[in-house]
Amino acid sequence: MPLWMWLVDSLVVIVALGIVLIAGLALRRRWISRKGVVFELSVNHGAEHSAKGWMLGVAVYRDDVIEWYRTFSYSPRPRHRFHRGEVLIEGRRMPEGDEAYALHDGHVIVTAHHADGVRQFALSPSSLTGMLSWLESSPPGRGVNNVL
């Protein structure tokens, strides 16, 4: 078999593998979407104002927890779980400098305090309103830890 045929066969295999990987991400996103209300939420473990450390993802509202999944991952399990009453959100700001390129367009950044070490959230203003409403609607007897 000539060398050029090996190259063509290799290229076909690489393209097919790329299509399978992209389809896998799309199917995973669709599977996550069926779990409940889904919104885009980026998280950062650092507190500095830079593009470093931001992870794009989607979050799903459950009964008393928000499950966060990385966008570019094949894991069926959430990477973080934010329980209602254990998250403190304060302050709001627009992305600065390179942060604007690392995050989704139109998202705002809020400071968050959580036991997992997440220090910042980035989400759309309407998603922030929904998240604050969800956090404040905790059952009686639980403390509300949200300041904005």
Q: Name the domain count of the chain.
A: 2
Do 28 and 45 belong to one domain?
Answer: no
Say yes or no: 30 and 55 in one domain: no
| Pair (30, 86) in one structural domain | no
- Say yes or no: 93 and 143 in one domain: yes
127 residue type, one letter: S
Q: Read off the pLDDT of residues 23-78 as tens digits, 9 standing for 90 and up.
A: 988 888 888 888 888 999 999 998 888 889 999 999 999 888 999 999 988 888 99
- Give the burial string for 34-64 (b: 16+ CB within 10 Å, else e): eeeebbbbbbbeeeeeebeebbebbbbbeee
The single-letter DSSP state of residue 143 is P
In terms of domains, do 90 and 139 share one? yes
Q: Are residues 19 and 44 in the same domain?
A: no
CATH number for the domain spanning 93: value is 2.30.29.30
Instruction: Give the H/E segment covering residue 58.
Output: strand 57-61
Same-domain status, 80 and 62: yes
Q: Tens digits of per-residue pLDDT, 114-133?
A: 888 889 999 999 999 999 99
pLDDT at 103: 93
Range of the domain at 19: 1-34
Same domain? For 25 and 41 the reply is: no
118 & 63 share domain: yes
What integer pLDDT is reported at residue 142 of this predicted model? 56
Which position has the higher pLDDT, 17 or 62? 17
